[in-house]
Amino acid sequence: MNVKDISRLLEAMQATDSNEIVLETGDYKLSINRNQVNTVVTVAEPIAQNKPAIQEVAAPVVTEAASELAVAVNDNLIDITAPIVGTFYEASAPDASPFVKLGAKVEAGTVLCIIEAMKLMNEIESEFSGTIAEILINNEDPVEYGQVLFRIKPD
């Protein structure tokens, strides 16, 4: 689990009325509570790494993630970022209609665009339902990892 993963959890929390998220796997336990001032994140790491089995990290980790979230969620808009470096394509072919247009309603799983990387075409799907509020890139522009491509207003 990294700061980006925690940011996604915070985005999900922001998009709902939930006051608490608890995520527990064999490797870690994460608890985030909106009403707590001093949130504690407990991370259990595999013993094979010769590190302490459990580390407790105080609020700065959550605060760091929350500051990234403030950039990622602008006026309740959710950023869709490029998962890879490549070339952005708004349609499946030069003469085809774009996958989405400004104002289009999308569901989770809707293809938003294609990013070509090393001659492989990678369909980028929405993880959220909502309305396309912004398209921040032009067809055939190069994209960087983490670059914001779309902003979606969640339903």
Q: Are residues 96 and 148 in the same domain?
A: yes
Domain boundary among 40, 73, 106: 73
Q: Are residues 59 and 85 in the same domain?
A: no
If one compares 72 and 145, the residue with the highest pLDDT of the two is 145
List of long-range contacts for 2-10, beta carbons under 8 Å, 24+ apart: 3/61, 3/64, 3/65, 3/68, 4/68, 6/30, 6/32, 6/41, 6/61, 6/62, 6/65, 7/65, 7/68, 7/69, 7/72, 10/65, 10/66, 10/69
If one compares 81 and 31, the residue with the highest pLDDT of the two is 81
Predicted confidence band of residue 141 (pLDDT cuts 50, 70, 90) = very high
When divided into structural domains, the chain yields a total of 2
Q: Domain range holding 32?
A: 3-73
pLDDT at 31: 72
Q: Are residues 84 and 16 in the same domain?
A: no
pLDDT value at 73 more than 60: no
